[in-house]
Structures are given as structure tokens and as C-alpha cells.
Structure 1
Amino acid sequence: MGSSRAATTHRQSHVRLDIIIVGAGLGGLAAAISISQSGHNVIVYEAAKELAEVGAGLQLTPNCTKILQQCGLSDAFWASGAEPTSLSIHRYTGSILAHDEAFSCTTRKRYDAPFLDMHRCDLQQALYERAKALGVEFRFGSRITDMEFERARPMVSTEQGSCCVADLVVAADGLWSRCRSRFLDRDDPPKPTGDLAYRVVLDLEQIQDPELRRWVSEPTCHFWIGPGAHAVGYSLRGGRMYNIVLLVPDDLPSGVSRQPGSVEEMKALFKGWDPILARFLDLVDNVDKWKLMHRKSSVEWRSLEVPNMLLGDEMTSWVNDHSNLVFTGDACHPMLPYLAQGANSAIEDGTVLGLLLGRIESRDHVPHALKTYENLRKARGESIVRETFKQVCFQVHSS
């Protein structure tokens, strides 16, 4: 891939802080790497007992891969991606609406970084291995049950009965963030958006059709825009796997965020779409349905009243009054998948936070560093969130 660069040397802080990160997702791991490179002690608390082989594909855009190039990730990580040579946007019936034949070349020339399609677990594992190599401590199977931020040095307690005190807690615990609920002093469960995703991953060995095999083994990226639905298809793992995401109106029961789906029902929703997509879907044996959730209030996503959609539940601050709790990623700005920026933006957050913490010269500088982080990241993250809502309208009313 030509993207495995040496890690950039972070500026080392003159004071060594003890920092707890809650959550070993992509944003938490990126924060762990960057903060550790800036000279601080990092412990990551993760509720899961291990990093599981779960998830599907991710699209890593140059704003993220440019960061990853500087993290010192292994050559094996870069080899696990797929770099699409071209990008096509189709009308749902298959006709081409837009096409960039030189997509990979254009992207690298413009940004000096690639656009990569990657399996989520490959990225997570690579970040985890890099964080461990930097000396980050991980405590798996440690679900946070209580937090105290009213003192200068905050304390977290786990379900297993252990406690830990630090100088700073980084909340990277995702959409269902317990840290956010504690910060807001109320339960703050995510809300349904009105959409759900079918996620499909196919191995090349499952595919006999020569044309479909070429689509997988010669990586390209395809989007299909239709009435009330949207589909994305791209290769993973160097062209040995194909990822398809189908976004449709939500019909899951209230309170259910994921359940097995009917393959026949899924295929029926895309009847009359591009025959290539139909042939891929004919290979699917089983599929899950994932409710798309968000922090915003329930609205009619299929309305064109975009200003109403942009009114929301954005957090007033990402830093608490004592400057010992700071939020990153989905814990403060969860994103719908329509711009493929959720993971990319979370990795940006964690990296910027670490770089700023490398510039502090005393503990008294921490509040300024966190406020600078918020000033740099909050407007950007929330503007991307708002743009994803506009994409919902575009998707539904294009045909």
C-alpha cells in the first residue's frame, strides 16, 4: 500500500499525568496511542472481556489514514485493507450517476494519503497492538459502574469492585456512554433514527460468478441511491472479502437494537434494483438488522424540513467544570453512517487530544488544553453530524 510510515514523535509533556480511558473502541484506542506518545500513563477500561472479531467494513478516508500513517502501525495492517481504484455512484436500477475512474490516484495525489476499505476488527486489533507496544495498560472485563468527578483527581469504580484514581478521565465509551449519563446527571439513552442497516460480508470463496469475483478481487467502491433506501458495496482484506451495507426504514420493535433478519425480506426490499446487487444478495445465507441510533430527538427523517432536523441534543460542553473529564467520538457526537465519518472522526478526536496533552507544562495547563481540544473538535464533529441528516433527505428523495 505504500502507507506504512514511521510514527511521528509527539511533543513530550513536562508533567506525566495518570489518565483513564473508558472504552477500547477505535476512538479510545487512538486516544490511548496519542496520549501515550505524549508521555502520559494510560489505563484503558473496557467492559468486554476481550476484543471480539465483530463488526463489518469501514471506509477510512484520508483525514483518518493520514493520522494512521503516523501511528507506527504494522505492515500487516496496511496489507489488510483494500484501496478502491475507482468509485461509482449508481441510480438504484444500475445506471451510472457519477464515476471517478482514477479515484485512488486522485485521492493520494490530493491528500498524500489513501482512501481504504477496512474490516473494523483489523483496524481495532492494529491499534490495540500499537497501544500495548507503547505501554498502555488494558483492563478488560471492567464495566464502569460509578464515577466521582467532584474532586481534583477523579475516581472510577467497576462492577468487579475495583477503583482507580487518575488526573483525567477520557470518555470514549460510545453511543450508550455511561460517562455521558453521569456528566448530564440523568439517563441519556440513544434514540432511534427511523432507519436500520442490513450488514453483509461475503468471502471470495463463496462467490463463483466470474463477474462478481472481479468486483471483489479488483477493489472498487459502489454506491446505489434509491427511493427510501441506500446501498454501499466495497472490498475488504486485499480483495478477499466483500462488504455490503443496505440502509432502509426501521421496522424493528421498540427497544430492540439488533436482531436476526430475514434474507428473503431483505431481498424483497431491493427487488428491481441493479442486477449486480441482486446477484450479490442471492449469495447471502443469513443477515442481521441493526437499528440506527442517535442522540437527537425523534423526528420524521424523511421530511425535507432540514432546519427542524438540525435542532438537537448537542452537548453544551465536552469538558466538565473540574476539567477532569473529556469526551470523544460517539460518546459526544454519534454519527449516522451516510458520510462514513464516525470512526474517522473518533480517531481524529483521540489524536488531537493526545497532541494537546503533550504540550502541557504543568497540571495547571490541563484546563486550557481541554478547552482548546473542545474548540478545535466540537464545531467540526457536530457539523459532520448535521451533514449526515441532510444526506438522509438526499437519499430518500433521489430516485
Structure 2
Amino acid sequence: MASPQTQKTSPSPLEIIIIGAGLSGLSAAISCALAGHHVLLLEGARGLAEIGAGLQITPNASKIFQQFGIYDELEAKAAEPSFLQVRRYSDGKVLSRTDDFNGDMKRKYGAAFWDLHRVDVQRALAERAKQLGTQIRFGARVADIDFNKPSVKLENGEELQADLLVAADGIWSKCRERFLASKGKSDVPLPTGDLAYRIVLTLDEVDDPELKDWIAKPSCQFWVGPGSHVVAYSLRDGHMFNIVLLVPDDLPDNVARQAGSIDEMRQLFTSWDPVLNRFLDQVKSVDKWKLMHRPELDSWVSDKSNFVFTGDSCHPMLPYLAQGANSSMEDGAVLGNVLAALEAKSQLPEALRLYERLRKKRGEAIVRETFAQRRDFHMNDGPEQQARDELMLSQLGKEQIECKFPSRWQCPEVQPWLYGYDAQKETAAALRESPLSMVSQASL
């Protein structure tokens, strides 16, 4: 296991303002503070959300928790799936299974695969950021940005200046809106065509002994079917159960989230596995979330190299590989890792271009891969689906899958690319190859 990073004293500390206290913004705050910079984190909400659902933390992100010094704290709150399996929607037939999944992840990637509650992750990141000297201001809503100074103007009229502004304000990013407007452009979040029903059950409220056993013995379960799929996994060491139902979007264009109808949800899954329906019998209320994406940006860095994007503000993605949170935390970690190499403020343009080079291609490639995972999980019944199932069944029971696999969670080509990523090592290697003092615009 990697050792926690110690806080540096920077020879040229920057004043950094990060906009948005989600997972990306908090990760950037920790990483930039560890690099020895002064960080102010602005969040429009009145406090950290105390509600939320599950997160699948893959090894590429749990490595970051090691770097940040919060690994042990989160391990105590995690559920580690002992196996991962993919089932056919109609009868629950197992198409693919990886046993000792948590052990397999640690052996391959040197870090854990955890299922965690979002609230637990956000709290741990926020506390660590504050320990490192980050100031967090809640109720600080951004009205405008000056990309020349640079500065942030808040809705209360206050103006705050910095050396660097970091946009970490999510898919509905005000920063992105102002950034594009400064270039005479605009874009808006686009519907993906899917929505999510998100459900969290507690062990205490489930009275079915078999279902209780599923919850208490953590695993990661998928059901794949026509136009839809379901993922379910335990949280908080087997005391909670997270279920996400991914289905075609029927929300109005201008509605991103609304309370869902249990009857409507149940109707969509009447022909699905009876075990899944027994879980749905336990549901008392449910919300519907429209799944959105955005076009790729030409650049993540402003012309004056004093503003940069991270997370969903620049690469929102379908949740079908659980990489939205994980890749956003990668962004935050890499940004701070690059800024740790600064010896003078004049190197900031080079540092931000290096960050963009390390992160943009990967983030956008993951976005594309999530759409490919939707295609392979949402096949309608027919010859293509039958071929997919036969391929998956041909690998069932083998110690290692030996082909490109429809479930990217287990695929020997995609899984290492996703889970094997190490934010510290990637940055260190890039800096060895192109130290900031030697980086020129031509080489980027």
C-alpha cells in the first residue's frame, strides 16, 4: 500500500480558488494543499449534503485515498464485494462471475475495490481538506468570472481574486457557462436518453431472510436486459443496500430530477428476475434522475492559464462504469500533483497544459467507454444478445477471462486501463519526461 503524502512547503505558493465542494473540488483542494498552496473552496449550498446514495470506489480512486491519508478511515465504512456477477434480466441466470473479487483487485492493482456511501466519502475529504488548511465557504454562489484578473464575483456582490481558479462545479457548471460565453460560445447539458431510479435500503427495514443475507454479505450484482440494466451492492459494511435501475428516459426536457412513482417503476420490471422484484417490494419511495452529458471542450485551460476545469464540469459521464466520481477525484489529485512541482508562478501555464495532457484524453475516453457499456448491457433479445450471452458463458468458471468481454468491469482489456491508473505515478513519470522548466509550448 502506498504511503500518505506529506504536506510540502511550496517555494512559490499559489492563491487558488476552487468552485464546487463535490468530490472533484474536495480532491483538488486536498491535493493542492498537500502541494503547499493556499486554497479557498467555494460551495453554493449551505453545507455538505447529508443525503446521497452509493459510490463504487475502484482501485484507481482508493489509491488516491492512500495518497490523501484517509484510506484507513474509509476502509472502516466500506463494503468490499466478495464477488461480482452479471445476470440475465428475466430469470437471474448468471452469465458471468468473478469470485474473490476484492482479493483479485488488491492483487492486480495494489488497492481495494470498495462500495461506500457518498456522504462518508464527502465528509472524509472535507475534513482532510480542512486539516490541511483549506478554507471552505458555504452559501457562496458564483455570479460571474473575470478570466483576466482572474476573479470570482459572488451573488452577494463580493469579488475574490486568485492566481488560479479551478472549476469543479459539476454538470450544471456556472464556470463553464461563463468560460464559453467569454469565447462567444455556449452549450447545455444534453440528455443521454437514460434515467436512473436510485434506491437505498437498510438491513433493518428488510424482513426477507434471503435478501438480508445478500445485504450482509457484500457482492456486486448486475442484471442486464432490453434497454435497461440494474446494479446493486452493499454499503457500510453490509448494513445498507444500494440499487440503481437504469431505464429509458421519460422525464420532461426541463426536468433533471423528480420524485418517482413506485408503481411506474415496478411496472418496468415485472418481467425481471423474481429476486430483484423481491428487493423492489421493500421500496417505500424513489427518485428519478435524468442522466446527462455534455460535448467535449476544445480546452480545459483558459487562454491566460489562470483557470482550469475538473470533473463533471468538463467530462460528465454515464454511471455505467462507476467512473464519474473516480475520474473526478483523479483530476483533483493530478492537478495538485502537477502543481507540487512549481518552483515559480511563471511555470503555471506549463503546469496546466501538462495537467490537461494527462487528464483530457483519458477523461473523454472513459465517457465514450460508458456509452459502449450501455450498448453491451442494454441489448434487446435477439441474435446479438444471444451471441453476447454465449460469449460470457464461455468464460464462466475460468480463473481468468481470456477475451474482450462485454462486461468492462471484468474485461482483461478495459479493467486494467481503468483500475490500474495511478495518479501519483502518472504525474511523476510525466514530470520526469518533461520537467516544468523544460516544457515548451511546442512539445505540448
> Under a length normalisation based on structure 2, what TM-score does the superposition of the two structures give?
0.83
Partner of 1:28: 25
Deviation at residue 183 of structure 1 after TM alignment: 1.0
Trace 1:271-282 onto structure 2 (pairs within 5 A).
Answer: 271-282=270-281
Cα distance in structure 2, aligned partners of 1:398 and 1:265: 21
Q: Does 1:337 align with 2:319?
A: yes
Cα distance in structure 2, aligned partners of 1:165 and 1:261: 43
Cα distance in structure 1, aligned partners of 2:139 and 2:17: 15
CA contact (8 A) 2:4 2:66 kept: yes
Deviation at residue 134 of structure 1 after TM alignment: 0.6
Partner of 2:141: 143
Cα distance in structure 2, aligned partners of 1:277 and 1:111: 31
Deviation at residue 389 of structure 1 after TM alignment: 1.3
- Any stretches of 5+ residues in structure 1 without a counterpart? 296-312
CA contact (8 A) 1:12 1:359 kept: no
CA contact (8 A) 1:35 1:357 kept: yes
Partner of 1:37: 34
Cα distance in structure 2, aligned partners of 1:75 and 1:356: 25
Which residue identity lines up with residue 259 of structure 1 in the other structure?
Q
Partner of 2:100: 102
Q: Does 1:352 align with 2:348?
A: no
CA contact (8 A) 1:193 1:292 kept: yes
Deviation at residue 140 of structure 1 after TM alignment: 0.3
Cα distance in structure 2, aligned partners of 1:150 and 1:346: 26
Q: Does 1:178 align with 2:174?
A: yes
Residue number among 62, 69, 89 corresponding to 2:59 in the alignment = 62
Q: Secondary structure at the match of 1:253?
A: coil
Q: Which moved more, 1:8-17 or 1:210-219?
A: 8-17
Which residue identity lines up with residue 163 of structure 1 in the other structure?
E
Deviation at residue 75 of structure 1 after TM alignment: 3.8
Q: Secondary structure at the match of 1:69?
A: helix
CA contact (8 A) 1:87 1:99 kept: yes
Q: Does 1:90 align with 2:87?
A: yes
Higher relative contact order (CA 8 A, sep 6+): 1
Q: Secondary structure at the match of 1:330?
A: helix
Aligned length in residues: 377
Deviation at residue 253 of structure 1 after TM alignment: 1.2
Cα distance in structure 1, aligned partners of 2:186 and 2:9: 38
Q: Does 1:116 align with 2:114?
A: yes
CA deviation profile, 1:237-296 (whole Å, cap 9, x unmatched) = 11000000000001111201111111111111111211111000000011011111111x
Q: Percent identity?
A: 56
Report runs of 4+ in structure 1 exceeding 6 Å deviation.
Answer: none
Trace 1:1-399 onto structure 2 (pairs within 5 A).
Answer: 6-9=3-6, 12-73=9-70, 75-93=72-90, 94-151=92-149, 154-185=150-181, 186-295=185-294, 313-397=295-379, 399=381
Q: Which moved more, 1:385-394 or 1:364-373?
A: 385-394
Deviation at residue 398 of structure 1 after TM alignment: 5.2
CA RMSD of aligned residues (A): 1.3
Which residue identity lines up with residue 285 of structure 1 in the other structure?
K
Deviation at residue 11 of structure 1 after TM alignment: 5.3
Cα distance in structure 2, aligned partners of 1:77 and 1:100: 24
Cα distance in structure 1, aligned partners of 2:131 and 2:338: 21
- Any stretches of 5+ residues in structure 2 without a counterpart? 382-444
CA deviation profile, 1:127-153 (whole Å, cap 9, x unmatched) = 0000011110011000000110123xx
Cα distance in structure 1, aligned partners of 2:43 and 2:286: 27
CA contact (8 A) 1:10 1:355 kept: no
Cα distance in structure 1, aligned partners of 2:281 and 2:219: 20
Which residue identity lines up with residue 123 of structure 1 in the other structure?
V
CA deviation profile, 1:56-111 (whole Å, cap 9, x unmatched) = 11100000001111211174422111100100111112000100111111111111
CA deviation profile, 1:191-227 (whole Å, cap 9, x unmatched) = 1111100000001001111110011011011011001
